[in-house]
Amino acid sequence: MNPETEFREGLDELADHYKEILKILGEDPEREGLQKTPMRVAKAMQILTRGYFQDPQKVLTDAIFEEKYNQMVIVKDIDFFSMCEHHMLPFYGKVHVAYIPNGYITGLSKIARVVDIFSHRLQVQERLTQQIKDCIQETLKPQGVMVVIEAKHMCMQMRGVEKQNSITTTSDFSGAFQQAKTREEFMNLLRGESRRI
């Protein structure tokens, strides 16, 4: 499915609701600048929540390869955008994923696709972190997985405390990453010389 050209059932109903929301907010949805807005927003919301209708485990299993490599694999600086489930405002940032294979690896782009699928749902950062880790652990069954997310939240920047420069960091890990030395190696690689690339 191409989310820019194919939309799910309920699109017209969603647009009707946004038209009513505009009225409740004190706007005139019939004025020129707003006439197409309800449908635009409905389409945008279907794109932003497309992850509910995608299977992240299938993405990984479609590209599993037997490989004897048993050192850390890191895919870092994966850009993501998600929607806070509390205020339906965006939060965005970087996801860093590491896993230690146990006989099988997956295509590197598939890790980014897993991030994309889970982030295209209404989320909280803590759960997003855990879902990415659990999906990779359960599907690839590696020696361990670690996920770190650094994000800015528009619900903190645009409303409430209005702190524009705050960054929230979350992490979750399993298996070999329960050892402090392994976690430290991952964090050092995130901060280290590879940043120069």
Catalytic residue among 17, 27, 87, 185: 87
125 part of the active site: yes
96 part of the active site: no
Catalytic residue among 57, 130, 150, 155: 155
Give the integer Cα–Cα distance in Å for 88 and 95.
20
Catalytic residue among 46, 123, 125, 143: 125
86 part of the active site: yes
Catalytic residue among 35, 67, 86, 138: 86
Catalytic residue among 96, 120, 137, 153: 153
155 part of the active site: yes
135 part of the active site: no
Exposed, middle or buried: residue 170 (CB in 10 Å: 0-12, 13-18, 19+)?
middle
Catalytic residue among 67, 85, 138, 184: 85
Active site residues: 84-87, 125, 153, 155
